[in-house]
Amino acid sequence: MIRARGIHKSYWSGKSELPVLRGVDLDVADGEFVALVGRSGSGKSTLLGILGGLDSDYRGEVQVGGQDLRGLSDARLSSYRNRSIGFVFQAFHLLDHLSCLDNVALPALFVRDGDGLSDRESHARALALLERVGIPEKASARPSTLSGGQKQRLAIARALFHRPALLIGDEPTGNLDSGTAQEVLAMFTALCRDDKVTLVMVTHDPVVARAADRVIEIRDGRVVAVDAEKEHQQ
């Protein structure tokens, strides 16, 4: 699913180069759940943005599903990202002037290549996703009326709208209490197990990391440790 080789990324402060990623190599298989861990500032969120096609200003090679992301124009990268990659963040990024149903269907508005869904088809798919994440009764509600866990379920439903092969998560349980975080985590692991969705997630939560198929530690912009314990899969 993901093949990254020699990823280097730097920021500049005046004439001073500030390296963030220093030659990262990474492979992630179809249907695998990989947790990226490390201290704040280690480069893990920067790496996540590159793997998700949100940042193209780097050196190295990234392939997602066999697609070389660097070989795409900005317009084609945007289209590929919208169709093939789902994003779930710590902040929910929901639009409160829209209903929950319309929030889930929002990605349909960004399809430009003539292969979009009708409004009826979009709403039917969105409702099916609300049912899947366990909040179909909230279809007509506004996001501001939901609990934190319900908002994250809504965000996950939206991320799944185009049936992506890859999910990118940046601390998606970070704003949730422990019980709700466990429920959301169970939803993620079920997606990997049952739908073979690939999940790469940044987390500081050791409970979340233990649920992953692999834990990769990033330190000072380098991969320094890989933990491939599989006990939780048994």
162-178 pLDDT, tens digit per residue, is: 999 999 999 999 989 99
Whether the predicted pLDDT of 99 surpasses 60: yes
CA distance 140 to 98: 9
What is the distance, to the nearest Å, from the Cα of residue 138 to the centroid of all Cα atoms in its chain?
23
> Which residue shows structure tokens 């501001």?
144
Go through the chain and tell me how many residues it has.
234
CA distance 199 to 182: 16
> Residue 70 has what pLDDT?
87
Angle subtended by helix axes 148-159 and 119-132, to nearest 10:
130
- Name the pLDDT band for 231 (thresholds 50, 70, 90): very low
**Contact residues for 120 (Cβ-Cβ < 8 A; gap 6+):** none
Closest CA to 185 of 200, 176, 173: 173
Over residues 125-157, the pLDDT tens digits come to: 999 999 999 999 999 999 999 999 999 999 999
> Residue 201 has what pLDDT?
97
> Residue 222 has what pLDDT?
96
Average pLDDT score, the chain: 92
> Residue 113 has what pLDDT?
53
- pTM for this prediction: 0.91
Domains and CATH numbers, the chain: 29-56+76-233 (3.40.50.300)
Report, as an integer, the average pLDDT of 202-227.
94
> Which residue shows structure tokens 């084609």?
76
Report, as an integer, the average pLDDT of 69-97.
92
CA distance 78 to 18: 27
| Number of other CB atoms surrounding residue 25 within 10 Å | 13
Over residues 15-59, the pLDDT tens digits come to: 999 999 999 999 999 999 999 999 999 999 999 999 999 999 999
